[in-house]
Structure 1
């Protein structure tokens, strides 16, 4: 019986592998992709990068403006994440199996989390452009919606994992709902929640660069402006500043995680 089961499983696995290979080969033919040409172009691409895509003295004069745009991007990302975290906490409490008021509110909370989480941030940016135009507000709401959906789902899982035993103990003593939430659920889950918030801040700063290109704001707009005007030296300086900022924030968030967890 087991031999037949494993034989069927091998056949299914082989069939799936064959389909993947066939689809990949079909995509290569349709797009006229050539691996040989791709590999051959790498040395020329590296040569071009070292020739054109490096900061020079002229591009360094633009550093103050680049840092202003960077600060705008970082602040919008942090503000959107913080506001999303506060809203996500309320929805997570309503959606968690441990703290839900009733099944209706739990389903609604989980539904909102799924909806906002599964729409890509670029799609949110384009949708919001029709309402708010090219402004920082568009970027803020795009980051907020995606962060809200992700954090709501993460907070629900944190609450369900961290609070079961303490909630049952308080319920046995006759504690009220709000006492259980604010004296058991939140304290026992706060460290993991902060960790998730820090992770989303890092992600949002990366995403905000793409959003800036779409909305004409922040550091993304600066890169887009310099790149399209063929000022590659200044564009490379923007990239270096972004990378340095992301690494710095990741280092800080990792340090905070080690302290609180």
Structure 2
């Protein structure tokens, strides 16, 4: 019986692998992708990057403008994450199995979170371009919507994992719903929620570069402008500042997590 089970699993795995290979091969044919040629082009690409994609003395003159755009991107990313976090906390309380008011509000909160979370930030940016045009507001809302969906789901799971036993204990004593939320749910869930919020800030800063290219704002727009004007030295300086910023914020986030967790 057990031998038949493993044979069946191997057959299923083989069929799935075969389908994936067929889909991959079909995609390569449709897109005219040449795998061998792409591998052979790697050394040439590395050579081009080494000889062209590096900051020089002239590109350093653009550093103040790059820093200004980078600061704009960081502030928008933080604002989108923190405002989304505050709203996500409300929806998480309504949607959590531990604290939901009723099934209707719980289902509605989970549905809204799923909708916002599953639409990619680039898709949100393109959708919002029709309403707000190329502006910082478009980038903010694109990051906000994705942050809201992700944090709502993360906060729901945090409340269910951390606060279940304490909530049951307070309910047994006859505590009101408001008292349970304020004195049990929020205090016990706050450290992991802050950790999720910091993670969202890091993610937003990474995503903001792509959003900036689409919306014509922030550090993404600076990179797009320099790259399309063939100013590769300045474009490489933008990339280096983005990498340095992401690494710095990650170090700060890790330190905060060690302190609060």
Q: Match of 2:23? A: 23
Q: Match of 1:161? A: 161
Q: How does 1:205-220 map to 2 (within 5 A)?
A: 205-220=205-220
| TM-score with structure 2 setting the length | 0.98
Higher mean Cα deviation, 221-230 or 35-44? 35-44
CA deviations 1:156-187 (Å, max 9, x no partner) are: 00000000111111111111111000100000
Following superposition, the deviation at residue 25 of structure 1 comes to: 2.3
Following superposition, the deviation at residue 220 of structure 1 comes to: 0.3
In 2, Cα distance between equivalents of 1:70 and 1:228: 19
Q: How does 1:83-232 map to 2 (within 5 A)?
A: 83-232=83-232
In 2, Cα distance between equivalents of 1:28 and 1:137: 38
CA deviations 1:125-155 (Å, max 9, x no partner) are: 0111111111100000000000000000000
Following superposition, the deviation at residue 226 of structure 1 comes to: 0.4
In 2, Cα distance between equivalents of 1:123 and 1:20: 26
Q: Does 1:55 align with 2:55?
A: yes
Q: Match of 2:70? A: 70
Q: Does 1:6 align with 2:40?
A: no
CA deviations 1:15-56 (Å, max 9, x no partner) are: 111111222222233333333322221221111111111101
User: 3-state SS of the aligned residue for 2:198?
Assistant: helix
Gapped regions of structure 1 (runs ≥ 5):
none
In 2, Cα distance between equivalents of 1:169 and 1:49: 61
Q: Does 1:45 align with 2:45?
A: yes
In 2, Cα distance between equivalents of 1:169 and 1:195: 26
Q: Match of 1:80? A: 80
Following superposition, the deviation at residue 6 of structure 1 comes to: 2.1
User: 3-state SS of the aligned residue for 1:167?
Assistant: helix
User: 3-state SS of the aligned residue for 1:55?
Assistant: coil
In 2, Cα distance between equivalents of 1:91 and 1:63: 41
Q: Match of 1:247? A: 247
In 2, Cα distance between equivalents of 1:260 and 1:248: 19
- How many pairs were matched up? 261
Runs (4+) of structure 1 exceeding 3 A deviation are none
In 1, Cα distance between equivalents of 2:25 and 2:141: 40
In 2, Cα distance between equivalents of 1:51 and 1:7: 54
CA RMSD in angstroms, aligned pairs only: 1.0
Following superposition, the deviation at residue 116 of structure 1 comes to: 0.2
Q: Does 1:32 align with 2:32?
A: yes
User: 3-state SS of the aligned residue for 2:41?
Assistant: helix
